[in-house]
């Protein structure tokens, strides 16, 4: 068939090839190998199942790389500029479409075609325009340069800059699409696919160093090596993370290929050696001879193929020997981690399982959790009530998943079970049960050779399960006992600590009560003895005033004032000693009202001393049971102590009084910004007659009385203080 318009073009190509004077150039071989590898890789992906648009867009990427690398091989192998320029045209026919193809591919894969449609169409259109300009004009590629590795193109400044800008813009679009997809994707497998794809093309983009010779730098282009590395990483993603949702047959193909070559080679050599001898035989003899040869080859191949297949496997193990070694090794494994690791490692090395997951029961969570995984990302836990677990708990033998799912009795649970098995990629399930209790189970994926598990391998798995389950049960029981012992130790330590704290508090209370009782008895007796003379003194002072001269009034006033002060001290001692003559009046008391009354009594003194008073009273404060007068005495004593403390500092004095309610407790606090209490005195401040005030300014009974009143109502009085910053007293009922 003649095509008139194509004949001149084809004739020109033919003349170019004939005059190119191609030669063997070792620098060009990496590019040839990379080109063939990438084209084969793209064709293999395209031939598999799945989305046609996804596979076709990836094939476009591979073809673009193939044209670049193949054209580079031709350019470096050319002996003159005509042949080199022919290769350059092929190179840029691929390079111009690499980035648009990549942008198209990731947009299809990440479902962003509609969003990037305009950029993709523009990219392919500009790629076509640049390709035509390079072939028809010298505006972009204006000459060739001879380097030590062969010919290379030279780019003009304006055209080359524009071309590189086009390339860079689509490179940024490509990575931007990947980054957006990574941020938006929730599926961790797809996220891992995106990461590996991004990493592989980062390596591939290092091949952009091939542009350096375009501007006169004699750097050997390493694009071929980098592309092989990048597509090897991509191949790993296809195999490991099922980038195109296909199953790899690489291991099986290599094993079959090596077995076939070794098995056929002797027969091929023999046939080649007797070819001349067969030429003298009759057709019937040749036919009989060949039929006999085929028959012999059949039995020969059947006999030698298993041995060769065993020879070319990556790991070799005698299952019986492995079982004996594993059983003997169990007694030396010290922990559950060691046991699980050894079990999984033994299965992987012996039967070549690609995916192994060990699930163990968590009694507290009522789930089976994955504790060891190989060849698969850690799956989710499965509930005890799951249909698959219920089914497995009734089985004693291993279960083949295909046979399980074909069971008509499991029709209703089929989808649930199938979904779980697909998630762990299981073809075998091994229950780990002892005494009808399912401790866990193991799922095995397909073998690395993609063959089915043989009868010997199934028997080996059945054998190895028994000692493993016994060792597992013992380990779990030991862990449970250790956990119980640890809990008992913790509870014992906690109880001892709690009892010690209670004992310490009780001891402190007993010491305080003993002090109060002893000193209270003493104080009560002293106060009673002093009270009678004071009454007589005050009575006689009043009588003397009636007949005294004016000059004697000052002396009598001093006597009366001193006697009254002594009487007040005696009254405090009497209250401290619990010597009240009448019954105590207990009633429902509004704590806010008590605080307000106490503040009204002290307000004048505080104003005279320029002390700022801050009141914050909770409106939700409940009533408490107590004696109003005694509670006012507590607040008054705390306020007087606070007043004396703040007047010793140079800063503006301030006292804060707050009432509050928390849960079932109510209380109030008195906070000042005074001198504070030294740490060594905090344990003494509630002792009777202990005071840090100057002589004549304090009796040391105020806080002791307040402490006794609060304790009488089963309350708690606490203090926190920092020297130089202030003190806070908190009372809780």
What was the pLDDT predicted at 128?
92
Given a contact cutoff of 8 angstroms between Cβ atoms, the answer to whether 42 and 59 are in contact is yes
Q: Find the angle CA(456)-CA(462)-CA(465) to the nearest 5 degrees.
A: 135
Query: The tokens 């999984």 sit on which residue?
Result: 344
pTM of the predicted model as reported, rounded to 2 decimal places = 0.39
What's the pLDDT tens digit per position in 577-613? 554 434 456 778 888 888 888 887 777 778 888 888 8
Name which of 55-64, 226-235, 463-472, 479-488 the model is least confident about: 226-235
- Mean predicted lDDT score pLDDT of the chain: 76
pLDDT at 512: 59
For 102-125, write each residue's pLDDT tens digit. Answer: 889 888 888 888 888 888 899 999
Please, which residues have CB within 8 angstroms of residue 530's CB and are 6 or more apart in sequence? 566, 570
Label each residue of 138-183 as H, E or C: CCCEEEEEEECCEEEEEECHHHHHHHHHHHHHHHHHHHHHHHHHHH
* Closest listed residue to residue 76, CA positions, set 25, 113, 1, 127: 25
Q: Which range (129-138, 157-166, 570-579, 669-678) has the least confidence? A: 570-579
How does pLDDT run across 490-531, given as a tens digit for each residue?
888 888 888 877 777 666 665 555 555 555 556 666 666 777
- CA 59 – CA 94 distance, rounded (Å): 13
Question: Which pLDDT belongs to residue 398?
Answer: 74
Least confident of 188-202, 269-283, 305-319, 347-361: 305-319
Count Cβ atoms below 10 Å from residue 707 Cβ, excluding itself.
Answer: 20
Amino acid 196: pLDDT: 76
| More confident call, 482 vs 728 | 728
Q: Which of the 8 DSSP states describes residue 286? A: H
DSSP, res 660: E
- The two structure tokens encoding residue 601: 């009594």
Q: Length of the chain, please?
A: 733
Of 187-201, 313-327, 373-387, which has the strongest mean pLDDT?
Answer: 373-387
Residue among 126, 113, 104, 115 at smallest CA distance from 60: 104
Pairing mode, if any, of strands 612-616 and 654-662? parallel
pLDDT at 320: 67
pLDDT of 585 reads 63
Residue indicated by tokens 């009594």:
601
CB contact at 8 A, 720 and 731: no
Over 70: is that where the pLDDT of 311 sits?
Answer: no
Please report the domains of the chain, with CATH numbers, ordered by start residue: 21-248 (1.20.1070.10), 252-312 (no CATH), 319-482 (3.30.450.40), 587-732 (3.30.565.10)
Rg (Cα) of the chain, in Å, rounded?
Answer: 49
- The DSSP annotation for 510-563 comes to HHHHHHHHHHHHHHHHHHHHHHHHHHHHHHHHHHHHHH--HHHHHHHHHHHHHH
Residue 159 makes CB contacts below 8 A (sequence gap 6+) with: 133, 139, 140, 141, 142
Q: Per-residue pLDDT tens for 443-472?
A: 888 887 777 777 677 777 888 888 888 888
What is the β-pairing status of strands 367-374 and 382-383?
antiparallel
Q: Which H or E run contains 186?
A: none
> Distances in Å between the alpha carbon of 5 and those of 10, 11, 129, 131?
9, 11, 21, 20
pLDDT above 80 for 661: yes
Nearest to 719 by CA among 692, 691, 693, 682: 682
Report yes or no: 732 and 722 within 8 Å, Cβ to Cβ. Answer: no
SS3 category, 75: helix
């Amino acid at each position: 068939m003649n095509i008139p318009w194509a004949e001149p073009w084809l004739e020109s190509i033919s003349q170019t090839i004939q005059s190119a004077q191609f030669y063997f150039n070792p620098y060009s071989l990496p590019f040839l190998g990379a080109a063939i590898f990438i084209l084969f890789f793209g064709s293999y992906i395209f031939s598999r199942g799945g989305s046609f648009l996804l596979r076709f867009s990836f094939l476009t990427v591979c073809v673009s790389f193939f044209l670049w690398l193949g054209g580079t091989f031709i350019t470096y192998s050319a002996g003159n500029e005509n042949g080199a320029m022919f290769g350059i045209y092929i190179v840029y026919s691929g390079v111009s479409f690499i980035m648009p193809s990549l942008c198209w591919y990731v947009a299809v894969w990440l479902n962003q075609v509609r969003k990037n449609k305009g950029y993709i169409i523009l990219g392919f259109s500009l790629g076509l325009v640049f390709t035509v300009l390079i072939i028809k004009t010298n505006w972009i590629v204006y000459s060739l340069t001879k380097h030590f590795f062969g010919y290379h193109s030279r780019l003009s400044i304006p055209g080359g800059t524009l071309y590189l800008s086009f390339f860079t813009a689509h490179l940024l679009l490509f990575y931007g699409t990947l980054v957006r997809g990574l941020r938006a994707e929730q599926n961790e497998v797809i996220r891992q696919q995106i990461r590996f794809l991004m990493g592989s093309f980062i390596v591939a983009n290092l091949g952009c160093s091939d542009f350096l010779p375009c501007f006169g730098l004699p750097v050997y282009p390493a694009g071929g090596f980098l592309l092989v590395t990048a597509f090897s990483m991509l191949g790993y993603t296809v195999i490991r993370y099922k980038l195109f949702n296909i199953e790899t047959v690489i291991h099986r193909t290599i094993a079959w290929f090596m077995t076939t070559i070794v098995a056929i080679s002797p027969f091929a050599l023999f046939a080649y050696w007797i070819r001349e001898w067969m030429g003298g035989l009759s057709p019937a003899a040749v036919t009989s001879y060949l039929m006999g040869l085929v028959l012999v080859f059949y039995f020969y191949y059947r006999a030698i193929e298993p041995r060769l297949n065993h020879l070319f496997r990556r790991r070799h193990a005698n299952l019986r020997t492995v079982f004996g070694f594993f059983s003997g090794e169990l007694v030396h494994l010290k922990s559950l981690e060691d046991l699980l690791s050894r079990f999984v490692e033994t299965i992987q090395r012996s039967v070549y399982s690609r995916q192994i997951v060990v699930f163990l029961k968590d009694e507290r969570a009522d789930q089976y959790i994955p504790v060891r995984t190989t060849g698969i990302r850690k799956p989710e836990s499965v509930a005890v009530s799951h249909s698959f677990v219920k089914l497995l708990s009734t089985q004693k033998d291993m279960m083949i998943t295909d046979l399980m799912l074909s069971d008509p009795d499991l029709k209703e649970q089929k989808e649930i079970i199938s979904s779980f098995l697909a998630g762990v990629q299981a073809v075998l399930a091994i229950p780990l049960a002892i005494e009808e209790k399912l401790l866990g189970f193991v799922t095995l994926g397909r073998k690395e050779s993609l063959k089915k598990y043989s009868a010997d391998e199934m028997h080996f798995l059945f054998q190895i399960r028994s000692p493993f389950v016994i060792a597992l049960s013992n380990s779990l029981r030991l862990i449970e006992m250790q956990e119980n012992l640890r809990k008992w130790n913790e509870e014992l330590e906690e109880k001892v600590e709690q009892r010690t704290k209670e004992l310490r508090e009780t001891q402190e209370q007993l010491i305080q009560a003993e002090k109060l009782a002893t000193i209270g008895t003493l104080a009560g007796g002293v106060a009673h003895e002093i009270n009678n003379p004071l009454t007589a003194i005050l009575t006689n002072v009043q009588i003397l005033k009636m007949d005294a001269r004016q000059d004697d009034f000052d002396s009598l006033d001093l006597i009366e004032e001193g006697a009254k002060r002594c009487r007040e001290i005696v009254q405090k001692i009497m209250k401290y000693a619990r010597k009240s003559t009448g019954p105590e009046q207990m009633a429902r008391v509004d704590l806010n009202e008590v605080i307000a009354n106490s503040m009204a009594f002290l307000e004048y003194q505080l104003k005279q001393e320029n002390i700022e008073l801050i009141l914050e009273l909770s409106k939700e404060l409940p009533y408490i049971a107590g004696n109003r007068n005694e509670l006012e005495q507590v607040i008054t004593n705390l306020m007087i102590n606070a007043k004396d403390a703040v007047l010793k500092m140079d800063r503006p004095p301030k006292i804060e009084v707050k009432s509050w309610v928390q849960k079932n407790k109510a209380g109030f606090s008195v906070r000042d910004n005074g001198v504070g209490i030294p740490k060594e005195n905090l344990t003494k401040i509630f002792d009777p007659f202990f005071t840090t005030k100057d002589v004549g300014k304090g009796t040391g009974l105020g806080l002791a009385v307040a402490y006794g009143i609060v304790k009488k109502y089963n309350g708690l009085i606490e203090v926190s203080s920092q020297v130089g910053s202030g003190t806070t007293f908190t009372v809780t009922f």
